[in-house]
Structure 1
C-alpha cells in the first residue's frame, strides 16, 4: 500500500476504531474512511448487558472516544452508512446509497448480529437501542423469558433479576456454558441463577417465539411479558458474498489477519489462524477486537507480525466477577488450581492435548490468573503447569 494511500475501515466498532487510531499512530497520512451502519460514533458494547441495562450508566458514558479525540484522527467518518459489497479487483466498497468508496487498503470490522428465532419478533441485545428498549421492560411485576444461557443471556438474566423481574432462563444444553467452561464450572454458574430466584430450565429447547411468551420443543408455552433471544450470533459477511474472499463462519484470514492482498479482518467478524494455539478461531470479546484492530492496521502498513494473542474475556453475573484467559473451547480437562468450586471462589485451568490452554477465575483477585496467562503465552506443558497447583479439588 502506498505510504499515503487510501484506507477504508468498514465497521465503526471497537476493532474499527482501534485500526484507525493505529494507522495514524504508525504515521499513515492518507485518507482513512470509517464506515458504520449505526448513526452513532464508535461506542462500547459490553456495558449494554450490564451497566446500561441496570440503569447504573447513562448512554453518554458509552462513546469510546471524546469528539475532540475523534476529530484529531482526521477521519472521513460515514456513520449511518451500510456497505453492501466490495470489488476487490478494483479496490472499491459500494454503499447502500450508491456511493463507491475507493481504497488501497481495506480493513473489515463489521462484527456480528444476533441470531433470531422463528415467530413473533423478540428483543435482542446488540446495540444501544436494543439495550434501552429491553431496560424499559424490566422491573418489579414484570416477567422476562431469556432464551439462551450463554454469557450474554446470563448477564441479562442477572441484571433483570436484580431489578425485581421474574426471569425464566431457557437453555437447550443440559449444563449452561459447559461447552465453553466445562460442566463443573457450568453447574456452579447455574446454581447461582437458582439461588437468585431465576427459573432456570436447562435441557429445554425453544421452537419459536409466540405472543405472550415462547413455545418449547415439547409444545408447551412459557408465558412472559417480554422475550429476550440470546442464542448466539452470525458474522456480518453477507456484503462480502461474491467478492472472492473466503467466508466460513466469518471472514477467513491468515495469521497476519490478511484475507487477501491489501484486505484484512479484525474483531468479531474475523476468523484467523492463531499460531499460539495452532488453530483457527473467531473471538467475540471486546479485548480481542481492539487488539486485532491494531494488529490488522500494523500489518496493512507492512509490519507482517503474526497475531498470536492469549484471548481474554470477563463477565459480571450477580456479585460474581468471572475472568478468563486462553482458548477454553474444546478442552480435554479442567482442574481446580486454587480455591473451591463449592465456595464459588476458585481458579480453574484447562488442558488441550498436552498443553495448558486456558485459565478461568471466579471471585478471585485479578493476579490469580496473570501467572497462568503468562504460562499459556509460553506454551507451557500441562504436566509442568499442574505441578504448581495449590489444590486438586475433585469434580462436583
Structure 2
C-alpha cells in the first residue's frame, strides 16, 4: 500500500506523521512544492517578519524526523495532473506517482494583483521566501503600504509599526475585518492600530502604481489621494489551490468538497485549507482556514486509512497577535451573531465577548484573556459533544 500526500505544509506533514504513529505499513510519499522542510505559516507575519526569529523557529521537523517516520519527502515538486481512475499523480518534475490512497493538502494561494507583477517591493505573504523578501523591505523610517485590512494585513501593519515604519492601509470595505469579525470588536482592533499611528483608507482601492525599474515610489487611490510607498504588502485574501484538479471529477466549491471524515472521492482525501469538510455541528460544509483544524483533520484521515480509532473535529480555534494584544476565538464565529461583552477591563486590556444565535452560545472571543475564556470553551465543548451524541 502506498499513501501519497500532495502538499508538505503543516497539514501534509501532520498526516504523514499520523500515518506512521497509527501503524501504516506501506510507503508514505510527501510532496512539497517548495525547497524548504515543512514549516509553520502563522509566524510568518509576526516573529519571522519582525526579524526576531529565523527558519528554525518555523520549521516543523528535521531531516532526522523525516527518516525516523519513514517518509519519502520530495521537495521542489508540484502536482500538475491527477488521474483518479489510474490512481496516478503527475508532477512538475516529470515524475508520475502511483498511489493507493491520496491525501491532498495543497493549501491556498495568495490572491494577486496583476498591476504589481513587475514591482519587486509589492509582495504577497504566503511562503517563507515571501516573508524574508518583505522583511528586507521593512526598514525603520520607510513607508509601508498594506492593501487589505484582514488578519494578515493587520498583523503585517502591526509588525511594520513596531519596526519603525510609517504604515498606510487601503481597504475597499468600510472597516477592518469586515464580514469576518463582529463589528464592535473589529472597531477595537482598528482603534489599537490608529493609536499606534496606522492610517486607514476605507472604501478605496489603488488605481495607479507608480514604480520605476521595479521599485515602488507611490500609489494613487481611487479618490485621487497619492500616497508615498517604499514597499507594499498585498493581503487581499486567498484561493484554494485546486487548479490542477480541473476535469478530475472531484467536487470543487470553495475548496475540495469532503464528507465529515475528509473523503472527497474513492481513495482520495483532502485536509487543511484546501478542503471543505462537512461539519455535523452546523449541518453544512465549511472550509476552515485554521492551523489547529488542519492537524485534527490529518489525524482523522490517518485513522480512516489505518482503521484506528479517531476523534472528531473540535470547534474552530484561531488567534491573532497584534502589538501587545492576543485575540483568540473559539467556535463558529458569525460576524452578525448576537454579541455580548461579558468582560471589559481597559486597565488590564482584557476583554471577553460571547456570540449567540437564537439564544444558543456559538462562539467566544477574548483579548488577552486566556484564563477567562476557559469556562466558555468548556461550555461550548460540552454542548458540541452532546449535540454529536444526539445526532448519532
**Which range is displaced more, 98-107 or 55-64?**
55-64
Range moving further from structure 2, 288-297 or 301-310: 301-310
- Matched residue of 2:25: which SS? coil
CA distance in 2 between counterparts of 1:88 and 1:234 reads 23
Deviation at 1:91, TM superposition (A): 0.7
- 2:39 aligned residue: 43
Q: Which residue of 2 aligns with 1:30?
A: 26
Q: Does 1:116 align with 2:120?
A: no
1:295 aligned to which of 282, 291, 300:
300
Distance 1:116 1:213, change over 3 A: farther
Q: Are 1:65 and 2:61 matched, yes or no?
A: yes
Structure 2 equivalent of residue 226 of structure 1? 231
Offset at residue 352 of structure 1 (A):
2.9
Give TM-score, length-normalised by structure 2.
0.91
Contact (CA 8 Å) 1:275, 1:308: kept in 2 or not?
A: no
User: 95, 102, 109: which is aligned to 1:99?
Assistant: 95
Cα deviation for residue 207 of structure 1 reads 4.2
* Structure 2: runs of 5 or more not aligned: 212-216, 385-392
C-alpha separation in 2, matches of 1:93 and 1:334: 47
- Measured in 1, the distance between the counterparts of 2:56 and 2:265 equals 38
The 3-state SS of whatever aligns with 1:34 is: strand
1:79 CA drift (Å): 0.6
Give the aligned partner of residue 176 of structure 2. 176
Aligned to 1:348: 353
Counterparts of 1:144 and 1:330, CA distance in 2: 29
Matched with 1:392 is none
2:271 maps to 1:266: yes
Aligned match for 2:86, one of 83, 90, 110: 90
CA 1:292–1:378: 2 relative to 1, 3 Å: same
Distance 1:278 1:303 in 2: 25
Provide the residue aligned with 1:309 in structure 2: 314
Cα 1:262–1:171 change in 2 (3 A) is: same
User: Is the CA contact (8 Å cut-off) linking 1:94 and 1:101 kept in structure 2?
Assistant: yes
- 1:119 touches 1:210 (CA, 8 Å); kept in 2? no
- CA pair 346-330 structure 1, distance change in 2 beyond 3 A: closer
- Mapped to 1, the partners of 2:309 and 2:208 lie a distance apart of 47
- Give yes or no for contact 2:15–2:299 (8 Å, CA) kept in 1: yes
Summarize the Cα distance change of 1:279–1:331 in structure 2 as closer, same or farther, 3 Å threshold.
farther
Deviation track 1:215-272 (CA, whole Å, cap 9, x = no partner) reads 4233443220101100100110011111100111111111111101211111010011
- 1:210, 1:279 → 2: CA distance? 45
- Equivalent positions of 1:143-154 (< 5 A) are 143-154=143-154
Q: CA deviation at 1:178?
A: 3.6
CA distance in structure 2 between the aligned counterparts of 1:342 and 1:170, rounded to whole angstroms: 31
Partners of 1:86 and 1:379 in 2: how far apart? 40
Provide the rounded CA distance (Å) in 2 between the counterparts of 1:125 and 1:155: 11
Write the distance in 1 (CA, Å) between the matches of 2:358 and 2:308. Answer: 32
RMSD of Structure 2 on Structure 1 (CA)? 1.8
* Number of residue-to-residue matches in the alignment: 375
CA shift, 1:214, in A, is 3.3
Distance 1:376 1:361 in 2: 14
1:282 and 2:280 correspond? no
Cα distance between partner residues in 1 of 2:345 and 2:285:
33
Say whether the 8 Å CA contact 1:214–1:227 is kept in structure 2.
no
Q: Given the alignment, which residue of 372, 378, 382 partners 1:368?
A: 372
TM-score between both structures, scaled by the size of structure 1: 0.90
Relative to 1, partners in 2 of residues 1:180 and 1:37: Cα closer, same or farther, differing over 3 Å?
A: same
* Matching residue of 1:329: 334
- Report the 3-state secondary structure (helix = DSSP H, G, I; strand = E; otherwise coil) of the residue aligned with 2:116: coil
Report the CA distance between 1:78 and its aligned residue. 0.4
Offset of residue 44 of structure 1: 1.1
For residues 74 and 47 of structure 2, what CA distance do their matches in structure 1 show?
A: 28
Give the structure 1 partner of residue 218 of structure 2. 213
Three-state SS of the structure 2 residue aligned to 1:271 is: strand
